[in-house]
């Protein structure tokens, strides 16, 4: 059960630790997807996923939370056209304006 819960995070770590350097938008997008998958695997039980999401966010603070990362995520065609969530994300739109 523990392995299944942390499988999305292991996927992100393997991408980051690979031979080629992924772009910042892919790392940001994959981490965002891993959080969504983790919440789905916890069956929306806030008591289970909330402490772990806080740990992930604290580790990503000042590394992956800049407006440049959010803007790169929004401008990446892979995430932009994959689902409507990236297109409607207000934080990403604000990040674009901040970067411009």
Per the listing, tokens 């996927």 go with 11
- Rounded to two decimals, the pTM is 0.81
Q: Are the beta carbons of 75 and 56 closer than 8 angstroms?
A: no
The torsion region of residue 66 among left (phi > 0), alpha (psi -120 to 50) and beta comes to beta
Q: Which residues of the chain have pLDDT under 50?
A: none
Q: Are the beta carbons of 96 and 74 closer than 8 angstroms?
A: yes
pLDDT for 19:
77
Residue numbers of the domain that contains 28: 2-99
pLDDT, tens digit (0-9, with 9 covering 90-100), for 88-98: 889 889 999 99
pLDDT for 94:
92
How many domains does the structure of the chain reveal?
1
pLDDT for 6:
82
């Amino acid at each position: 059960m523990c392995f299944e819960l942390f499988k999305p995070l292991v996927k992100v770590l393997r991408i980051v630790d690979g031979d080629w350097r992924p772009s910042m938008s892919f790392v940001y997008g994959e981490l965002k997807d891993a959080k969504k998958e983790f919440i789905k695997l916890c069956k929306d039980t806030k008591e289970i996923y909330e402490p772990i999401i806080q740990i992930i966010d604290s580790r990503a603070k000042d590394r992956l939370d800049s407006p440049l990362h959010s803007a790169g995520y929004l401008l990446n065609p892979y995430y932009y056209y994959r689902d409507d969530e990236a297109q409607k994300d207000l934080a990403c739109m604000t990040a674009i304006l901040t970067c411009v």
